[in-house]
């Protein structure tokens, strides 16, 4: 790490925590962000402000954490940028589509840059603590080069193969399971309540028996208590992730009936104005279907 | 407990473990079963063989663990039997419908017998160890009377209210969530595999991160490894439980779109001859939909 | 027909029209109904009032048109009644389950009575005009005996085989298709309206092009105009028919995903108090899902 | 028409029939197609071969009938082409997305060209006979200008409003209903067959009673007879149209549960290699779900 310069693109709540972890680990970090405030915040912590994306790609390695396919496509899948890069490694930690991952890999390979997909599990506080779970895939040489950087940002790296898209598939599958879990608990809580059981009693029992862990105790409580604000992860982002799963399914011809139900439920939630709420608000759709009070 | 005689009906794998727990706790247990072998086995452990169901209901309290609504209805919801009972408490630990629970409660109340619904979570070894999680509901006096018996059979009792059907609702909701979890993992594993990710890698990561606990590591592994035999819980029983949820939903007018998908998937599995396999074999349906090898 | 006496059970709106057709064709008709008013009305037209069901089954043939499985089971599947019958033919024209049809056939055969299932298509005015479409099944001898009676009540008889349940299956499949058509038009109209197309314009074009016939012009207009009252066929009856399809599917292990969506939609409609409206009111569910004004 | 020159883009089976109708009506028709053979065929009938798309747009009006959004976008939504056009009217008769229609309208308006959306109902023989049903939308002046051309190609024009996207919405809704009808009949036929009714008997009765018209008699027969070849409309095109409906639904936040089922069924069909068959082959999915022989 000594002497290694890391370019970092995308200083949202997650990106700031991750860049901070790299700084703490001793890396020289050169940051870029669309809006200036987060750049200033990171500079105050010891980072260098990049003059532009070319400056970022002049570093030894680049880590990016952008919001979605569009942002990655527009900012980073730029042949001119990549052709001029000194960096030999780009670790893309965003949740993007399988299709984008494949195109990104091809373009980076063409320009001699190792491309690692490394989407993460964890919210901003976990990112800030350097305790993310990281799902990684890429060719062995690139993964080896990425390993110390990933170690600085996460508590554990899970490997999925040599094709970067494998890590994105794993991440998309994981978020699909989260959405399924929320809808499952929403339907179960509506069923319980309409039959006279307090949803909070149900979730407490489930958390203490078959479903330990943060999903049942966290999302389950939000569902049971109808507490959808403040939003940890907004509903339209949930729909985006469900759509990533459906799209990856369609291109590989994998029907996902639960995914189809989820898509309809998220659309229903948006049609009723819940776009600013946490994606747990899909539970309000289950309640509405049953005529239960909002 | 000293001096208390317990009648016990239903010595399947679960019932034997539960009756054994009562014996170990010092209760005099009078057992009845449709077939004689389990009776002999329990007698060998110190139980008394009942001469008939009337003999069972001559005990101080009755515990029953029958297979389904039909068995309970046919054997125990018998006005003559209940009218002649000395027992003042009946703890029904079977997974039965909300509707049956309500009729059972009414009939027992009519005959002055306290009725507690106490379905359980746990497989036979857990029952044998007296470590079940017990979901209980009933009027306070009956619950108080039941408490020492439940304590002998379980590691913890979760209370859901004064109406016995509340415990059955909680149990039905729990099994519904289990079925949802299996289908969710089945779809996620098909999605992952068709996009080049090994399902076992996915499940290992999930178990180690967001989904700790027995469901992901246990059922998830069965799904990922396509290991549906030997059956811990057979597919037709899974369909029965999904139908219990759908029926409880219908009577309270709660649409359950995930439940509807589950029902169709279980029927598909049965149509393809998987009725002797574990209900995790519903994952074979997800694979077939996607044209993945069985 | 001359000299043939027909016992008739069930004088609802449909039954009155059908019994009237038999009278017009010259049959002596002996009628029975739970409530007396329709009996008086038929007597005024020349029918004879039966003293009881045994009296009905003392006729040469019996035609029944009861509301559902329960009524048929309770009133007609009575071994004592059938054992004492002089009638050698029973034409059951109700929409009942496949399971009931099979049990009814067995019981009638046991007592030497030919059993024909002959459910009908058509509303009360069509029944009154003797213009019903009749879906019939039974053994050839019974069908031959039934033929003149059916000819008196309908404009055409469609034959489905030697097992009575085949006609019930055909009727259940037909009603399933009707429900599917209503939901399809409901979703299409919501899609159209939310994208700026007047649903009435859509339905008018469809009726004039690809979908001639009464379903699109009739139900389509009700959907497009949100006109769900007065009810021609009430929503709970629609759910009953969807359930008949799902049950027939389950016993033959036929998943019906459209049927599952229908069931959830009808429950949603009932949960919102639309039980007195026409089953076209399931369109209100499609609108609610999309946040369109009721 | 006398003196009016019409540029025509897209000589597939539909386009040839439509251009032929314009020739028969006396228009001078200047045709362009990606491949040369259809151009030669039309020239033999009296058309003129355009030298390029600019030559097409040098005519008084342009009619286009391309395969999909991509082709329209690539070939016709070209600012240079439109800026240089002499044509004051473009009638786009392809089945395209709502989104594309809106962008096309904006671009044409910007360049002073009237834009009419006029997708059609009917197969190639109907197009050749000038008997299409045409769904049209556009501003009144453009519609008035388009009217004689549409009259030459169709038997009737159905109007949906002033925004071109309204006609595309109507067409997308219509194809959605077709897909729903096929799936409905597929499920009904599987239900019937598994319960002992011949699907051909069911469809014959339905066609003769509640569902007259080409859909039940045509597609119903294909479903009932499992006759999916030769393909009149290939399965992947069916999926494309279902996706157009789902996309139009998503942008307007209209959940379409039947559409979701359709999408999963079409993917299932493609996963099993039925991509060259008629979209009626989605019925094979319904059969496979039920374990019925292919």
A137, part of any domain: yes
Q: Which residues does chain A have within 8 Å of residue C264's beta carbon, measured at their own beta carbons?
A: 289
Which candidate from C181, C197, C253 shows the least CB-CB separation from D160?
A: C197
B200 lies within 8 A of chain A by CB: no
Phi-psi region of C172 (alpha: psi -120 to 50; beta: other; left: phi over 0): alpha
pLDDT band at residue A155, thresholds of 50, 70 and 90? Answer: very high
Determine the pLDDT at residue B3: 80
Q: Compute the half-sphere exposure of residue B205: CA atoms within 13 Å on the CB side of its CA.
A: 31
Residues of D known to be catalytic: 171
Q: What gap in Å lies between CA C244 and CA C95, rounded to an integer?
A: 9
Determine the pLDDT at residue D2: 56
C-beta atoms of C263 and B267 within 8 A: no
Q: C residues 125-144 near D, CB within 8 Å? A: 133, 135
Non-local (6+) Cβ contacts of D70 within 8 A are: none
Are A238 and A266 spatial neighbours (Cβ–Cβ below 8 Å)?
yes
B25 lies within 8 A of chain C by CB: no
Residue A86, both tokens? 């000194």
A219, part of any domain: yes
Determine the pLDDT at residue D63: 98
- Strand, helix or coil at D159? strand
Look over chain B and give the mean of its residue pLDDT values, rounded to a whole number. Answer: 97
Cis amide prior to D115 (ω within 30 degrees): no
Q: Which residues does chain C have within 8 Å of residue D187's beta carbon, measured at their own beta carbons?
A: 176, 180, 254, 256-259
Residue B178, both tokens? 């289990």
Compute the Cα dihedral for A221, A223, A225, A231 and give only its sign. Answer: positive
Are C185 and D185 spatial neighbours (Cβ–Cβ below 8 Å)?
no
- Residue that terminates a domain, selected from D162, D182, D208: D162
pLDDT in tens, B58-100: 999 999 999 999 999 999 999 999 999 999 999 999 999 999 9
Give the alpha-carbon dihedral of C139, C140, C145, C149, to 10 degrees.
80
Domain at D15, CATH number: 3.40.50.720
Residues A25 and A116 in one domain: yes
Q: What gap in Å lies between CA B246 and CA B134, rounded to an integer?
A: 23
C97, part of any domain: yes
B212, part of any domain: yes
D250 lies within 8 A of chain C by CB: no
C227 lies within 8 A of chain A by CB: no
Residues C273 and C151 in one domain: no
Non-local (6+) Cβ contacts of D15 within 8 A are: D8, D9, D33, D38, D65
Q: Phi, psi (5° rounding) for residue D65?
A: -140, 75
What is the arithmetic mean of pLDDT over B107-133? 97
Residues C58 and C202 in one domain: no
A partners (3+ CB pairs within 8 A) are B, C, D
Residue C28, both tokens? 């002596």
Determine the pLDDT at residue C3: 80
Q: What ipTM is given for this predicted complex?
A: 0.97
Determine the pLDDT at residue B215: 97
Non-local (6+) Cβ contacts of D261 within 8 A are: A257, A260, C257, C258, C261, D183
- The 3-class secondary structure across chain A, one letter per residue, is CCCCEEEEECCCHHHHHHHHHHHHCCCEEEEECCCCHHHHHHHHCCCEECCCHHHHCCCCEEEECCCCHHHHHHHCCCHHHHHCCCCCEEEECCCCCHHHHHHHHHHHHHCCCEEEECCEECCHHHHHCCCEEEEEECCHHHHHHHHHHHHHHEEEEEECCCCHHHHHHHHHHHHHHHHHHHHHHHHHHHHHHHCCCCHHHHHHHHHHCCCCCHHHHHHHHHHHHCCCCCCCCEHHHHHHHHHHHHHHHHHCCCCCHHHHHHHHHHHHHHHCCCCCCEHHHHHHHHHHHCCCCC
Q: What gap in Å lies between CA B111 and CA B104, rounded to an integer?
A: 11
A294, part of any domain: no
Non-local (6+) Cβ contacts of B250 within 8 A are: C263, C267
Compute the Cα dihedral for D164, D167, D168, D173 and give only its sign. Answer: positive
Determine the pLDDT at residue A2: 56
Compute the Cα dihedral for D176, D181, D186, D188 and give only its sign. Answer: positive
pLDDT in tens, D155-166: 999 999 999 999
Q: How many domains does chain B have?
A: 2
Q: What is the largest CA-CA distance in chain A?
A: 65
Q: What is the largest CA-CA distance in chain C?
A: 66
Residue D29, both tokens? 């028709």
Q: Compute the half-sphere exposure of residue B42: CA atoms within 13 Å on the CB side of its CA.
A: 34
Residues C109 and C188 in one domain: no
Q: Is B171 a catalytic residue?
A: yes
Residues D52 and D135 in one domain: yes
Q: Which of B40, B97, B37, B29 is nearest to B63 (CA)?
A: B29
Residues C240 and C133 in one domain: no
C-beta atoms of A288 and C291 within 8 A: no
pLDDT above 70: percentage of residues in chain B:
99
- Which residues of C137-223 form beta strands (DSSP E)? 154-159
What is the arithmetic mean of pLDDT over C28-39? 97
Instruction: Look at residue C2 and tell me whether its pLDDT is greater than 60.
Output: no
Residue B132, both tokens? 């079940």
Q: Which of B112, B70, B94, B104 is nearest to B175 (CA)?
A: B94
B253 vs chain C: nearest CA distance in angstroms? 5
Domain that holds residue C35: 5-162
Residues C92 and C55 in one domain: yes
Tell me how far CA of residue B118 lies from CA of B15, B96, B203, in angstroms. Answer: 13, 10, 33
Residues D131 and D173 in one domain: no
A46 lies within 8 A of chain B by CB: no
Residues B250 and B135 in one domain: no
Give the alpha-carbon dihedral of B65, B70, B75, B77, to 10 degrees.
100
Phi-psi region of C227 (alpha: psi -120 to 50; beta: other; left: phi over 0): beta
Q: How far is CA C236 from the centre of its chain?
A: 14
Q: What gap in Å lies between CA C159 and CA C116, rounded to an integer?
A: 11
Q: Phi, psi (5° rounding) for residue A95?
A: -85, 100
Q: What gap in Å lies between CA A191 and CA C263, rounded to an integer?
A: 15
C294, part of any domain: no
Q: What is the largest CA-CA distance in chain D?
A: 66
Q: Which residues does chain B have within 8 Å of residue C270's beta carbon, measured at their own beta carbons?
A: 253
Instruction: Look at residue A62 and tell me whether its pLDDT is greater than 90.
Output: yes
C-beta atoms of C254 and B260 within 8 A: no
A130 vs chain B: nearest CA distance in angstroms? 15
Residues D149 and D183 in one domain: no
Which candidate from C135, C196, C291 shows the least CB-CB separation from D163?
A: C196
Are B199 and B219 spatial neighbours (Cβ–Cβ below 8 Å)?
no
D235 vs chain A: nearest CA distance in angstroms? 13
- Residue that terminates a domain, selected from B162, B178, B210: B162
A191 vs chain B: nearest CA distance in angstroms? 6
Ordered DSSP codes for B47-75: -EE-SSHHHHTTSSEEEE--SSHHHHHHH
- Strand, helix or coil at D155? strand
Q: What gap in Å lies between CA B17 and CA A84, rounded to an integer?
A: 71
D221 vs chain C: nearest CA distance in angstroms? 15
Q: Which residues pair with B67 in a beta bridge?
A: none
What is the arithmetic mean of pLDDT over C184-196? 98
pLDDT band at residue B2, thresholds of 50, 70 and 90? Answer: low
Are D102 and D247 spatial neighbours (Cβ–Cβ below 8 Å)?
no
Residues D12 and D158 in one domain: yes
B175, part of any domain: yes
Instruction: Look at residue A1 and tell me whether its pLDDT is greater than 70.
Output: no
pLDDT in tens, D195-214: 999 999 999 999 999 999 99
Which candidate from D255, D257, D264 shows the least CB-CB separation from A255?
A: D264
Look over chain C and give the mean of its residue pLDDT values, rounded to a whole number. Answer: 97
The CA-CA-CA angle for residues C113, C114, C118, to 5°, reads 130
Q: What gap in Å lies between CA C120 and CA A260, rounded to an integer?
A: 37
- Residue that terminates a domain, selected from C111, C146, C162: C162
C-beta atoms of B180 and A184 within 8 A: yes
Tell me how far CA of residue D218 lies from CA of D30, D189, D235, in angstroms. Answer: 36, 14, 16
Q: Which residues does chain D have within 8 Å of residue B272's beta carbon, measured at their own beta carbons?
A: 291
pLDDT in tens, A119-134: 999 999 999 999 999 9
Instruction: Look at residue B177 and tell me whether its pLDDT is greater than 70.
Output: yes
Tell me how far CA of residue D262 lies from CA of B189, B284, C246, D241, D243, in angstroms. Answer: 22, 21, 18, 11, 9
Tell me how far CA of residue B181 lies from CA of B214, B267, C277, D20, D60, in angstroms. Answer: 11, 18, 37, 58, 62
Report yes or no on whether pTM surpasses 0.95: yes
Pairing mode, strands C48-49 and C28-32: parallel
pLDDT band at residue A3, thresholds of 50, 70 and 90? Answer: confident
Domain at A285, CATH number: 1.10.1040.10
Pairing mode, strands C120-121 and A154-159: unpaired
Are B96 and B72 spatial neighbours (Cβ–Cβ below 8 Å)?
yes
How many residues does this entry show for chain D? Answer: 294
C-beta atoms of A173 and B190 within 8 A: no
Residues A37 and A138 in one domain: yes
C-beta atoms of A253 and D267 within 8 A: yes
Phi-psi region of B13 (alpha: psi -120 to 50; beta: other; left: phi over 0): alpha
């Amino acid at each position: 790490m000594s002497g290694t310069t890391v370019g970092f693109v995308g200083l949202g709540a997650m990106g700031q925590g991750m860049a901070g972890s790299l700084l703490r680990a001793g890396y020289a970090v050169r940051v870029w962000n669309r809006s200036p405030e987060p750049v200033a915040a990171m500079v105050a912590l010891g980072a260098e402000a990049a003059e532009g994306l070319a400056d970022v790609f002049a570093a030894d390695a680049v880590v990016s954490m952008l919001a979605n396919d569009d942002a990655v496509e527009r900012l980073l899948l730029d042949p001119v940028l990549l052709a001029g890069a000194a960096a030999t490694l780009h670790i893309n930690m965003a949740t993007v589509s399988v299709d984008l991952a494949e195109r990104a890999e091809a373009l980076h390979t063409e320009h001699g840059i190792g491309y690692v997909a490394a989407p993460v599990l964890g919210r901003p506080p976990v990112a800030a603590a350097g305790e993310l779970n990281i799902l990684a895939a890429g060719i062995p040489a690139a993964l080896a080069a990425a390993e110390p950087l990933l170690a600085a940002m996460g508590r554990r790296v899970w490997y999925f193969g040599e094709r970067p898209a494998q890590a994105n598939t794993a991440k998309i599958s994981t978020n699909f399971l989260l959405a399924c879990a929320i809808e499952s608990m929403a339907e179960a809580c509506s069923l319980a309540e309409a039959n006279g059981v307090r949803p909070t009693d149900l979730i407490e029992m489930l958390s203490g028996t078959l479903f330990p862990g943060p999903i049942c105790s966290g999302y389950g409580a939000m569902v049971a208590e109808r507490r959808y604000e403040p939003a940890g992860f907004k509903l339209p982002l949930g729909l985006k992730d469900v759509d990533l799963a459906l799209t990856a399914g369609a291109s590989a011809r994998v029907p996902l009936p639960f995914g189809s139900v989820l898509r309809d439920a998220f659309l229903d939630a948006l049609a009723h104005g819940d776009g600013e709420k946490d994606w747990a608000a899909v539970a309000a759709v289950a309640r509405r279907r049953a005529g239960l009070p909002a």
